[in-house]
Amino acid sequence: MRTLFKTLFGNLATIGAVAVVLAAELLLRDLPVRWLVVPSLTLAAAAWLSLRP
């Protein structure tokens, strides 16, 4: 069950990173600049996840 959950959703850090990205998308939903800000934030999230053991 734990393996299934991890396969589908990843660990808590991944879930948190995606939640932050989605929150940014919601906040910037009226602004075309979201197409630049959100990918940058997503890349930063990937970089942060890469530093985690």
Q: Which residues bind other proteins (CB under 8 A)?
A: 3-4, 7-10, 14-15, 17-18, 21-22, 25-26, 29-32, 34-35, 38-39, 42-43, 45-53
Q: How far is the CB of 28 from other proteins (least distance, A)?
A: 9
Look up residue 30 and give its DSSP letter: T
- Across the chain, the runs of DSSP E, i.e. the strands, are none
Q: Do the Cβ atoms of 21 and 41 come closer than 8 Å?
A: yes
| Secondary structure element (H or E) that encloses residue 31, with its range | none
- Min dist. Cβ of residue 17 to other proteins (A): 6
